[in-house]
Structure 1
Amino acid sequence: MAERTVKIASASGLHARPAGIFAQAAAEQPATVTIEKPGGSAVQASSMLMLMTLGAGKGDEVTLRAEGEGAEESVNALADLLEKDLDAEE
């Protein structure tokens, strides 16, 4: 299992556009990835609706976990995405 904790950089957190971009990227990963806020429940990173239920805002820490083939690469790719302001991405 691979795990990494990162801070969300997007101005609107994991809502609307950033959640859609992140969910699509998670769905394209070879490993199954979950995301959670400290003290919260883990949700599937590939589900835009579940991401929005996290209530994760700018600067919040979240933990990504992945299992399966390519787990480390999947976690790193998605963590790198969260560390960008996805609201500003074209």
Structure 2
Amino acid sequence: MPEIKVKVASLVGLHARPASQFVKAAAKHAGPVSIARPGADPVDARSMLSVLSLAIGHGEEVVISADGDGADATLAELAELMSTVDS
């Protein structure tokens, strides 16, 4: 399963609005998409509660994984979103 590491740019971390934008973008992918802290168990990136439960803060690194057709494009889109999300 392809994966990418990216730092969260949002000043509020992956909370509320930035998390919502991330979950909506992940939900567009037909295959499984997950997010995790490096070395930790991944959660479903299409679940708002799962993403919020990670309590990811500003500047933290996350690992995003996707599988299936278009996985690389999905990872690129999600990485771009994570690195440019406003607070």
Aligned to 1:18: 18
Q: Percent sequence identity over matched residues?
A: 44
Structure 1 segments (4+ residues) deviating >2 Å:
none
Aligned to 1:66: 66
Matching residue's letter, 1:48? M
Does residue 38 of structure 1 match 2:52? no
Q: What is the distance in 1 between the residues matched to 2:48 and 2:62? A: 15
- SS in structure 2 at match of 1:68: coil
State how many pairs are aligned.
Answer: 87
- Normalised by the size of structure 2, how large is the TM-score? 0.92
Matching residue's letter, 1:60? E
Aligned to 1:77: 77
Matching residue's letter, 1:7? K
Aligned to 1:27: 27
Deviation at 1:59, TM superposition (A): 0.3
- Normalised by the size of structure 1, how large is the TM-score? 0.90
CA RMSD, 1 decimal: 1.1
Matching residue's letter, 1:23? V
CA offsets 1:33-84 (integer angstroms, 9 cap, x no match): 1000023210111111111111110000000111111111111110110001
Does residue 9 of structure 1 match 2:9? yes
Q: What is the distance in 1 between the residues matched to 2:17 and 2:3? A: 24
In structure 2, list runs of 5 or more residues that go unmatched. Answer: none
